Structure 1
Amino acid sequence: MTATYQGNRQQTALITGASGGIGYELAKLFARDGYNLVLVARTGQKLAQIADDFKQKFRITVKVIAKDLSIATAPDEIFQQLQQEGIKVDVLVNNAGFATYGFFHEIDLKPELQMMQVNMVCLTHLTKLFLKDMVKQGFGRILNIASTAAFQPGPLMAVYYATKAYVLSFSEAIANELEDTGVTVTALCPGPTESGFQQRAAMEDSKLVSGQKIMDAETVAKIGYSGLLEGKTVVIPGVKNNILAQSVRFTPRKLVTKLVRNMQESKD
Structure 2
Amino acid sequence: MSDYFTAIFLGIVEGLTEFIPVSSTGHLILATELSGADPQEWAMFNVVIQLGAILAVVYQYWGTFWGAGMGVLRGEREGLLFARNLILAFLPSAVLGLMLHEQFEAMLGNPQIVPWTLILGGIAILGIERWSKPEGEHGVADLPIVTVLGVGLAQCLAMVPGVSRSGATIMGALAMGVNRKTAAEFSFFLAVPTMIGASGLEIATKYDTLMAGSARVGWDDIALGFVVSFIVALLVIRAFVAFVGRSGFAPFAWYRIVAGSAVLAWFAFA
TM-score when scaled to structure 1? Answer: 0.32
Higher helix share: 2
What TM-score comes out, normalization by structure 2 length?
0.32
Whose RCO is larger (CA < 8 A, sep 6+)? Answer: 2
